[in-house]
Amino acid sequence: MLEKNKKHILIAEDAVDLREALKAALESSGEYKVTAVGDGEAAIAAAFELRPDHVLLDIKMAKKTGDEVLQALRADAWGVTVGVTLLTAQADLDTVATAIAAGGVRTSYLTKGTTSLAQVLAHVRSQLEK
């Protein structure tokens, strides 16, 4: 598949091992071009510069939280349309529900630690089909 035909995924995750594993899994599928960053400020900058097709966004990050990144995205005309999957280790479903409600219809979530890389890949595929 030519690079220009690949969907672009932005990963914003502060845990290096998980960030690299997600990047490798998505790239190895051959379907995606992937940019990975390690904090919220870098996520905002990369999102507005690159305009990815989907964002995998950790909720707990340095510099800006995932909630703050999501607010920044949703305040922009392009950012309202991009799909965002929140990655969370949070067992507090109220926190997740609040973030999803604030993020609007194009927002979903996956729980870290209980979701396999194959499940993340399948989830991203399904979100891009919407």
**61 φ, ψ to 5°?**
-140, 165
- pLDDT-derived band at 111 (thresholds 50, 70, 90) equals confident
Lowest mean pLDDT among 24-38, 73-87, 99-113: 99-113
Domains of the chain: 3-128 (3.40.50.2300)
3-class secondary structure, 104 = coil
- Statement: residue 1 has pLDDT above 80: no
pLDDT of residue 129: 83
- Statement: residue 21 has pLDDT above 50: yes
What size, in residues, is the chain? 130
Could you read off the pLDDT of 30-59 as tens digits, one per residue?
989 999 999 999 999 999 999 999 999 988
Q: Which of 123, 73, 58, 130 is nearest to 103 (CA)?
A: 73
